[in-house]
Amino acid sequence: MKPSHVSRLTTNRLSVYLRCLNTLEQAGIKTVSSRELAEQFHLNSAQIRKDLANFGEFGVRGVGYDVPLLKQQLIRILGLNKPYNIIIAGAGNLGLALAAYGGFNADGFGIKGLFDSNPERVASLVASGYPAYPMGEMKRIAKKERVNIAILAVPAAAGQAVLDHVVASGVRAILNFVPVRLRVPEGVELATVDLKIQMESLAYHLTLLDGRVGREGKNRPEGARKTDRSAPRTARK
């Protein structure tokens, strides 16, 4: 257990492994080797071992990993054995959707408040039973509810100002949906989800694919790749 520093790529994969282990556990599987895990979920076995090795020795040579045990370790490493209290800044379409989205209100992540700069919107949300507040209340609620994560879902123009307000309210981890380059002070963690960039990436690849059809000959179909790995499928060099 010596995570002097571990890359985000690695920790993101720990989340993936945890998910895989949940699947295996539900299937009643007690023990799994890195090779089995890799084959079943299209990962690389050496990478699994290396990723885990950042945090300790969890396996048994000649046998593999104990599924429930490794699962518990990953939960501990990722800090998922504690509850997380979330606020959402910006109660527009996206903010409201995320509030309603089941994915968050499970597994120890609970939405404790929705903040919006429009008082009428706040009032109407409160009337509908949401825990909605004006922006000025953020610091108070963050303290009271021991909020540790904020979701930023405001218009681009307000992004940096609202982020600064969130940070001033004492929240040190932010999931940002605002398509803008934000600056955070040292010690504050920012994860950005930029839907526009994802769409434009797809547009780019579609354009590339279309271009290929015409050009023939230039592009050899090129032998099968080994494992898919993460999300994207991409032509390689």
Closest approach, Cβ 188 to DNA, in A, equals: 20
**Is residue 195 within the footprint of a second copy (CB under 8 A)?**
yes
Nearer to DNA, 9 or 199 (CB): 9
Q: Are 1 and 56 in contact (CB under 8 A)?
A: yes
Beta strands 84-89 and 149-152 are: parallel
**Is residue 173 within the footprint of a second copy (CB under 8 A)?**
yes
Task: Give the binding range for a second copy (CB under 8 A) out of 63-71, 131-139, 161-169, 180-188.
Answer: 180-188
Which listed residue (32, 98, 132, 135) binds a second copy by CB under 8 A?
Answer: 98
Nearer to DNA, 8 or 215 (CB): 8
Instruction: At 203, list the tokens.
Output: 């547009």
Closest approach, Cβ 213 to DNA, in A, equals: 24
Instruction: At 202, list the tokens.
Output: 């797809």
Task: Report the alpha-carbon distance of residue 151 to residue 154 in Å, rounded.
Answer: 9
Nearer to a second copy, 61 or 183 (CB): 183
Instruction: List Cα–Cα distances, 159 to 88, 93, 95, 144, 151, in angstroms.
Output: 13, 16, 13, 24, 11
Instruction: At 44, list the tokens.
Output: 């690389």
**Is residue 77 within the footprint of a second copy (CB under 8 A)?**
yes
